């Protein structure tokens, strides 16, 4: 897989450095996942998931356990993850039940504000505008339309996004590559780059033949194991922060 790479970079001793590969001018299309990439989800989706499991199971589950669940394929979808998690804790729970409970924590109720209000951005609108100067920008997210619109409707960089694919726009969710293929149409997948933070993102990219960068902070639970998993799924780079992407994008 070296068609989208430029010349290997050599270090001072003339040997190939560890980070010897650099994406080249061939990449023209950037596709972002939203949660964990553009948006920090710890106080919103993650907290809602933990609260949902506690509420339905009566058990005191932790963020550590959540990360373990998140690292399994198919659990980019929080409703599916919480349904299976609560079921495993001994209370059989359907997808619909988990979704209803989750939404009360995420969106809030009449008497209690939802976690959605604690949403934080990982990337500035200014940075997105800079990238938009050289790349076509798109989104493929596991969010539904409502969750997407709530956050992005008033966002100044919204106009830079060409195609936005939410879970409501595809038959098959991640890890299936449908959303990526829809964004690309007939264009060469090698000219695109998908930036995600979940194993489902990496699998979708691999299935679509789209180069993939993973966002995984060093402080993440089981960093090494997860980094290894991303690499085995073909991740070209593992980045600490989304803004670090600029380093690998020529001219930005």
Q: Of 33 and 84, which CB lies nearer to Mg ion in the complex structure?
A: 33
Any contact of residue 35 with Mg ion (CB under 5 A)?
A: yes
Task: Say which DSSP state 46 is in.
Answer: I
Longest Cα–Cα distance in the chain? 65
User: Which window, 7-15, 123-131, 191-199, 240-248, contacts Mg ion (CB under 5 A)?
Assistant: 191-199
Q: Which residues are CB-contacts of 196 (< 8 A; sequence separation ≥ 6)?
A: 32, 33, 36, 37, 202, 204, 205, 212, 213, 214, 215
CB 35 within 8 A of CB 143: yes
Residue 174 CB, nearest approach to Mg ion (Å)? 9
Residues 102-131 that bind Mg ion (CB under 5 A): none
In whole angstroms, what is the distance from residue 191 CA to residue 249 CA?
12
Residue 196 CB, nearest approach to Mg ion (Å)? 6
Any contact of residue 33 with Mg ion (CB under 5 A)?
A: yes
Number of residues that bind Mg ion (CB under 5 A): 5
Structure-token pair, residue 72 = 């399994």
Element (H, E) at 138: strand 136-140
User: Which window, 27-35, 51-59, 96-104, 165-173, contacts Mg ion (CB under 5 A)?
Assistant: 27-35
Residues 197-216 that bind Mg ion (CB under 5 A): 197-198
Assign 193 to helix, strand or coil: strand
Q: Of 23 and 36, which CB lies nearer to Mg ion in the complex structure?
A: 36
Q: Which residues bind Mg ion (CB under 5 A)?
A: 33, 35-36, 197-198
């Amino acid at each position: 897989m070296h068609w989208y790479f430029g010349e290997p970079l050599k270090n001072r001793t003339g040997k190939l450095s560890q980070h010897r590969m650099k994406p080249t001018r061939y990449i023209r299309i950037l596709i972002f996942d939203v949660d964990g990439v553009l948006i920090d989800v710890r106080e919103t989706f993650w907290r809602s998931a933990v609260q949902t499991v506690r509420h339905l199971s009566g058990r005191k589950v932790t963020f550590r356990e959540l990360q373990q669940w998140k690292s399994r394929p198919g659990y980019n979808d929080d409703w599916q993850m919480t349904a299976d998690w609560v079921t495993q804790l001994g209370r059989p729970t359907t997808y619909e039940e988990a979704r209803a409970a989750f939404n009360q924590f995420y969106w809030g109720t009449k008497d209690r504000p939802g976690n959605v209000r604690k949403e934080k951005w990982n990337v500035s609108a200014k940075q997105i505008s800079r990238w938009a100067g050289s790349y076509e920008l798109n989104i493929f997210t596991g969010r539904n339309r409502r969750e997407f619109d709530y956050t992005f409707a008033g966002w100044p960089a919204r106009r830079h996004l060409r195609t936005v694919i939410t879970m409501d726009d595809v038959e098959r969710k991640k890890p299936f590559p449908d959303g990526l293929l829809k964004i690309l149409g007939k264009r060469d997948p090698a000219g695109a780059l998908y930036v995600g933070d979940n194993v489902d993102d990496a699998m979708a990219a691999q299935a679509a033949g789209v180069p993939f960068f993973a966002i995984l902070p060093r402080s993440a639970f089981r960093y090494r194991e997860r980094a290894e998993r991303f690499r085995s799924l073909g991740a070209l780079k593992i980045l600490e922060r989304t803004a670090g992407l600029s380093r690998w994008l020529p001219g930005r």
